[in-house]
Structure 1
Amino acid sequence: GVVLAAVSQDAWALELAAPPAFADRSVVLAAVRGAGETYKLVERRLQEDREVILAAVSSNAWALSQVPASKLDLEVVLTAAKSDLGALQWVDAEWQAKALGELGFRGKKEHMLKVLSG
């Protein structure tokens, strides 16, 4: 529809859409693919949708800060971290350690964890 077309052109058009758009999966996917930051606008049910989560963190690592802890998995965390290692500040130490290990920071993991914790 019209909202999907608008959001496909400019993800931030979601801000101007009527509330039902925040619950429309195709509209939400188009928005988060265009601007991961729009993840914060979508209905909670879709914030827990794995495809929506992956699309959001792929588009903008910041979206990881908005993902419910219960919906985190290694692929989600790594997707954000590969885009911006600083995204690891938004997950707990266990996820940080797993991601750093996967990204090849095994020997430097302790140092990196200190850097991330400030």
Structure 2
Amino acid sequence: LDRFLDKSSGFHNLGKAYDTLVTDIRQQLKLFHEEQLDKQRLPLKKLALEIAGLLNVPNMRQDPVLVDRVRDLQRQIHALHDQRKQFAQEQAFQLQLYKAERSSRFHFASPMLL
């Protein structure tokens, strides 16, 4: 905000300049979030592409090495899904604890004397 105020001395419409700043910050945060999601999805995409490539090999089902590789990749995908599920459950539990602590502050607070 200080940087914005330092740069805003030449602006005639300070409100518009502030709105532009907020919009730019939101766009940067959105790009950062998308990059983080892409990094998280990358291992799963690689595994899915490798499975798709193996399934397109002719007579793949007769080759036990390829069948074992596909099964191994499927196990890895299931492991990634299980990790994400566990992480989501932990996050939901932490959020529930936070909300419970927050509401208990108001409900169980000692009465204040005015």
**TM-score class, shorter:** under 0.3
Choose 1 or 2 for highest CA Rg.
2
* TM-score, structure 2 normalization: 0.20
* TM-score, structure 1 normalization: 0.19
